Amino acid sequence: TTPSLKEVFKNYFLIGTAMDAQQIEEKDAAADALIKQQFNAVTPENIMKAEIIQPGWNKYDFDLADKLVAYAQKNNIKVNAHTLIWHSQLPAFMHHIQSVDSVKKYFEDHITKVAGRYDGKVYSWDVVNEALNEDGSLRKSIFLEKLGDNYIVEAFRLAQKAAPHTKLYYNDYNIEQPQKRAGAIAIIKKIQAAGVRIDGVGIQGHWKAGSVPLNDIEESIKAFSALGVEVMFTELDLTVLPNPWDNATAEVSATAKGSKEMNPYAAGLPDAAQQTLTKSYADLFRLFVKYKNDISRITFWGVNDGQSWLNGWPIPGRTNYPLLFDRDFKPKPAFFSVIATA
């Protein structure tokens, strides 16, 4: 029988997956079986984001979120709720709001109502997501613009008040890179200096097979852990496809959706690419295991290759292979290479 990730790593860290609406309530039997067998943590891929949970001003829709929480509870799976404050996937009405007072009202109400409702029901929240630029400065957003650069501390303060029993995290991508990492460290220190609780930091982990930045990742685990917070890898996937920003030629053809150059593996993943993916996953998990005392959770961004967002982003209509389970929900060589690191 297939080994179970959550069993194999149970003394090290939680093993999570992203989960979307199609997988709750056993609507997708294959995904459901795999989730129950392999994972002890889930992150809602979309259904707790602001545009879904507060679709109209002060009009909340908790239907899908409640169902996901019930599913997780029934199956003894911890929910990392995602996410309260993020510049993306905001409700449409937020694009028309101008006044500082209205943004402030949205900010306070959204955090208080949503985090409050799920306190004691979810394990943790990504309180603030992707607040940094690549150079470590704060990203321009409606929150920075209208509320000023203290908004992140305030988000954690409100979340702490509304959800005293829930762990509170900062989450971002590329924060293993030195400049952006310095920005994340500054955020964490600022929250701590204000006497506000932050329990952990999530490094998203959207990397590329064959060029995973292992040294930067190791330095980041050490640096974040030294601040006394949990370190997590929260949205792990390794693309095997060219990224449009990798070189100028690719950029030119990036718009050619499904072009052979940008979508080379529509007919299947060749052995060499499969081996590169397998080795990258093994290298990563060897590092994770080395730092098992600092790392509290590893979450994959999707159940299997067929359900990965990377088939549609940053170029729609591609065939990607970034996860441990294939389109038939079968474990790939990368899965066994990961298991072997335990």
Residues that bind ligand XIL (CB under 6 A): 45-46, 129, 204, 235, 309
- Residue 84 or residue 282: which is nearer to ligand XIL going by CB? 84
Measured CA to CA, the distance from residue 197 to residue 101 in angstroms comes to 26
Cβ at position 130, least distance to ligand XIL in Å: 6
Candidates 45, 130, 230, 235; catalytic one: 235
Q: In the annotation, is 235 catalytic?
A: yes
CB of 204 or CB of 280, closer to ligand XIL: 204
Tokens for 245, please give them: 């920003």
Residue nearest to ligand XIL (CB): 309
Q: What is the largest CA-CA distance in the chain?
A: 59
Q: Which residues contact 106 (CB under 8 A, 6 or more apart)?
A: 57, 94, 97
Q: How far is the CB of 195 from ligand XIL (least distance, A)?
A: 27
| CA gap 61, 111 in Å, rounded | 14
Beta carbon nearer to ligand XIL, 230 or 235: 235
| Token duo for residue 303 | 């159940």
What is the residue type of 242?
Answer: P
Minimum Å distance from CB 129 to ligand XIL? 5
Burial readout 166-187 (b: 16 or more C-beta within 10 A, e: otherwise): bbbbbbbbbbbbeebbebbbeb
Whole-angstrom distance, CA of residue 43 vs CA of residue 83? 9
Min separation Cβ 155 and ligand XIL, Å: 15
Q: Judged by CB, which is closer to ligand XIL: 38, or 83?
A: 83
Catalytic residues: 235
